[in-house]
A and B are shown apart, each in its own frame.
Chain A
Amino acid sequence: MSAISTPQVGTRYGMKGPRAAEWLAQQGIAVPASPNSIASWSSAGGGRCLRLGNTEFLIEYDGGFSPPAQPAHDGAWLLLRSDASLLLDDATWPHALAQVCSFDFRRFHDEPDRVVMTLLAGISVTLVREPRAGNTHLALRLWCDASYETYLQHCLQHLARPDPSPGEPR
């Protein structure tokens, strides 16, 4: 199983409030139409906008980009986001993650733009399918609270062991 990698992220911020979608669109950001979905772009270094709810967004640029200033009006609040993010790019990850996560990873095949907020090894994570040219398997990008990054890395490395303990379900 491949190692877990940490993706290069330039700028990340959150946006929340009833006018957040409108404000993001004004900034030229591709806003996902429905909650729990993602829109990505490859121009200007690439990036993605995750719609985490009706009025909550996570915006991430792969390259350097100055974060915007707080909008002057109510209803759109700029938020600090310091999430840890990880890339899992190996065909065996969905099976390995099934030991610690109840999400059905097959659903990414039908809903490639889906954003999943679930528990993984007992902590809250956000999961999306990572588009990878030439990949025949599912690659995943996940975010978690930065304070859990060490713990999660440890858990994932444990899962990545080639020899599961003998009593594990087949």
Chain B
Amino acid sequence: MMRRLPQPIAGEWIDRTRPLTLQFEGRAIQAFEGDTLSSALAGAGVMITARSFKYHRPRGIYSAAGHDANNLYQIGAEPNQRGDHILARDGLAFSAVNTHGGVSRDRAAAMTLLSRFLPVGFYYKAFMGRSFPWFERVIRSFSGLGKVRLDAPGALRGRRHAHCDVAVIGAGPSGLSAALAAVAAGARRVVVVDEAAQPGGSGLWFAKIKPEQVARSRELIEAVRTNPAIELLCSHSVVGCYADNELAIARIDREDGGLTLLRASAVVLATGVIEQPAVFRNNDLPGVLLGSAAQRLLYRHGIAVGKRIAIFGANDEAVALALDLASHGLKVVDLLVPLGSPLDTASAPVQKLKAAGLRVHGHVQDFVVSTRNDGSLIGFDFRGMEVGATKWVRRRCDALLVSTGWMPALQLLLQRGGAIRFDATLGQHVPDALPRGLFVAGRANGCFAFDARLADGGAAGEQAARHATRTAEAPTASMYSAPRDPHSHSHAAPLFPSRAGKEFVDLDEDLTLADLANAAQEGFDSVELMKRYSTVGMGPSQGKLSNLNAARQLAHVTGRELPSLGLTTARPPWQPVSMGALAGARFSPLRHTALDAWHEAHGAQWMSAGAWRRPAHYGAGGAPAAAIAREVAAVRNAAGLIDVSTLGKIEVMGRDAGLLLDRLYMNRLSNLAPGRTRYAVMLDEAGTVIDDGVAMRLADGRFTITTTTGNSAAIHREMQRRMAEWRLDCTLHNLTGHMAAMNLAGPQARAILAQCTDLPLDEAAFPYLALREGHIAGAPARIARVGFVGELGYEIHLPFAQAQAVWQRLMEAGASVGMTPFGVEAQRVLRLEKGHLIVGQDTDGVTNPFEAGLDKLAQTEKPFFVGQRSLAILAKRGARQKLIGFALQASRAPLSECHLAIEGDTIVGRITSIAWSESLQKTIGLALLAPSIAKMGGRVQFRDDSGALHAALLIEAPFYDPRNERQRAHVAA
């Protein structure tokens, strides 16, 4: 059983003067500041810390480094938090994921009895057809990970952008050495990132048997900590390495950790090696863990992994591990060396172990772990050449450490497009081709000896700095002369099948040797196919502990060599990262018009319009319909003033300004006389109506054109693109945010405006569709006589800063005749009464001018305009829908936009606009209907939400003032 050692270990990361109490599935756990959730459980003697994904087998601490997915916890609303990294906090409550009744009494543990009926890929074969949804529900209830709480409040995660000359990933000896060398070589800012809570890596282990190594590591740590050019980011994981050396770095010691986006001129990967499991019967149960995990728990958290420890080891590190644990008083009783190990059992260190009383068993061929019924470890059985190939020997232990080999952590190199090759001498993969600006150092580069790690890190750091400061060409892999070890540190194939099975290759997915053999025999005999069929490597740990052994099993089953099998593609994220961290802070840029404060002070009820907020209507009290009706009546009978600043306003200047507009809009604008305006419609290449606006000619070679509110940025961008593509001599200026705009409309509009300007406003001087520049209330303004709402109207454009004063002055001037501000809702009614369409509301993503009734504006005799060719085709094909006006037969009905038009059992169209018209005393609207239905004088039925049908008569728009006399001022008050 694991336990906290009573005496501190020198340099341990916990603070024993700061005790904490956590709650694990309702049980109080005593811990210390500096503990992770995993170490807190270990220190409290909790052996079963999780349940497996598929069979709900008991699981415990395995890597203590987050390389496995055993210890995933639910913390509040946050699922799947890695216990190896989340730091303990007083009062923190957490529970294992994927259990039915908790880890110690998981009712779903019975699933293991069904394992023989659940072979790899069973659901591909078994649950076809109509029964699949039932099986899917059952499977999902018994497997899976944490629970997503849909009612959890959204939490903003931190996001930071950072930059550096050199980023070093890994703060072990080679990483620390690289960082210092980079600074010495001229790097001005170096960032060192490590997943552990403190730097040093494995350089701080073997304190009593390699004290000089630990002392040197401490010197490096101190030098890095005190170097002002180096930033140390511990408890951070680089989850992605992208082009231009952009690194996505997640904070991993909290469940609400954010993301840092670090752009580095050069990167050093000092990511080390990941200790790999050996695969034997019951290798997944609590008490079986990696040798490196034992050292992490010991040196960081003062935890002994057991009272009677055995080591299943194949390399030099296994011997050093035994010596290291023994030097701290832990009882190591057996070292089992499997057949085919690179470890020489006749070597001096092994002899030293034997001399110390430890039993060394060489040439082990078969190995199984013995457990009690509850899954706890009681010992192991083995047989081999030394004890006789047929004789099983049983030994007792309460902790079995596995130390049979390593895999370099080179996934980030592969993500960046680098290549690796298998080095037969070293028995592991090594870098083969490095992307520009990326360097590899240390054990990830095949350098295992401590001095070699320092030297290799120093060389990589220096080269990275020279690359970052552009003092040298980027070195290539062939320039590397890494001091790699001349012998292997890994067993070639630590796979030990047994007749009884349960040898787990992938702890995430509960995949055994037999599962992978079956997959290969079914024809999924490449690493990529096997991965997809069996899901090996697709769990939360992304194959860190399974991909290599899976490939070894595939090589064994297919009789091929490991290097010939290749590797699965490395993709981000390298470590699990929460969706919240990826999403980061939510930006919702909101635009305010120059008149926003006035609207707010006068009771505006707001609505969203693209990125803007606009007054829907004014007046907080009373029904909105009454307020809207009041505003409509004011415009029809006296005057109203509306803020239309949100309209896009783009100025086009230069010799080819007219030509640009002629090509972009379907009607001709180049022949517009200075001082005149014209309605303009824009199409896309397919002939679809995408925008409309009013073109105003200010002078020769100078136009302003308005766009719809939501489209201003897109239209400006498209204009820029076209201007460059067509190499036109003109330039653009997006005035949208620089100019405010307001529309003064109503029979009294002229009289009101006349009080505020010296411009002549009579019909002859300022006719319908004219444009004038002058001053209103002292502010420079452009005034266009247009009539979107069907009344005498003036659209006034003026500088942002002066808009409020002008608005105020106009309101004062109109007060005596009852002028009122009006909002978007009233404007919609007013324009609907006139039958004016709104692009994007009364048109959709396929509506063309023939369907919208805009085809008469198309000037097809122009040499070219965007969509011209499509219009010719569309003219022949005929309309698929027609925009047409209607009036309900009943006065009112619960209908709104998008309610469907029904003919028999067939949908024949939909409402695009509908409103009650106080002026007409009926409900009017526009609808896109099938051409066979859209006949003037015809009838149609619209279906409301309840399914009730409402009859409507199709009538011609405009519904109000059909001869347009009011906006032309032929009818004035």
Contact = CB atoms under 8 A, between A and B. Distances in A.
A166 B591 contact: no
Contacts of B651: 79
Nearest to B231: A170
Contact of B585 (A99, A123, A170): A99
Nearest to B739: A80
A150 interface: yes
B654 interface: yes
Contacts of A65: none
Contact of A151 (B157, B259, B585, B589): B589
A32 to B, nearest CB: 19
Interface in A20-77: 55, 74, 77
Q: Majority SS of interface residues in chain A?
A: loop
Contacts of A149: 592
Contact of B233 (A147, A150, A155, A170): A170
A102 B263 CA distance: 9
A162 interface: no
Q: How large is the interface on B (under 10, 10 to 19, 20 to 34, 35 or more residues)?
A: 35 or more
Given A79-B651, A80-B735, A99-B160, A150 B256 contact: no
A130 interface: no
A100 interface: yes
Would you list the 10 A-B pairs with minimal beta carbon distance, nearest first?
A: A168-B158, A167-B256, A122-B587, A145-B737, A82-B800, A104-B163, A147-B591, A82-B738, A102-B161, A169-B260
26 contacts: A55-B731, A74-B701, A77-B653, A77-B702, A80-B733, A80-B735, A81-B738, A82-B738, A82-B799, A98-B160, A99-B159, A102-B261, A121-B589, A145-B591, A145-B736, A145-B737, A147-B592, A147-B736, A150-B590, A151-B589, A151-B591, A167-B256, A167-B257, A168-B157, A169-B159, A169-B251
B160 A169 contact: yes
A166 B258 CA distance: 9
A17 interface: yes
Contacts, number: 122
Residue with the highest number of chain A CB atoms closer than 10 Å, among B596, B645, B733: B733
Contact of B587 (A14, A16, A121, A147): A121
B738 A169 contact: no
A143 to B, nearest CB: 11
A43 B6 CA distance: 74
Interface string A1-23: 00000000000001011000000
Q: How large is the interface on A (under 10, 10 to 19, 20 to 34, 35 or more residues)?
A: 35 or more
Contacts of A169: 158-160, 233, 236, 249, 251, 257-260
Nearest to A155: B587
Interface of B: 155-163, 189, 233, 236, 249, 251, 254-261, 263, 585, 587-594, 596, 612, 645, 651, 653-655, 701-702, 731, 733, 735-739, 799-801
A17 B249 contact: no
Nearest to A121: B587
A74 B653 CA distance: 9
Given A121-B587, A167-B257, A169-B258, A146 B738 contact: yes
Contacts of A77: 653-654, 702, 731, 733
A55 B733 CA distance: 12
Residue with the highest number of chain A CB atoms closer than 10 Å, among B158, B254, B256, B799: B158
Given A146-B738, A148-B737, A98 B161 contact: yes
A136 interface: no
B163 to A, nearest CB: 4
Contacts of B592: 147-151
A122 B713 CA distance: 14
Contact of A167 (B249, B251, B590, B612): B251
Contacts of A102: 161, 261, 263
Contacts of B158: 99, 164-165, 167-169
B585 A100 contact: yes
Residue with the highest number of chain B CB atoms closer than 10 Å, among A55, A80, A155: A80
A98 B189 CA distance: 16
B163 A106 contact: yes
Contacts of A166: 254, 256
A16 B735 CA distance: 13
A101 B161 contact: yes
B591 A148 contact: yes
A150 B612 CA distance: 12
B737 A147 contact: yes
Contact of B593 (A122, A147, A164): A147
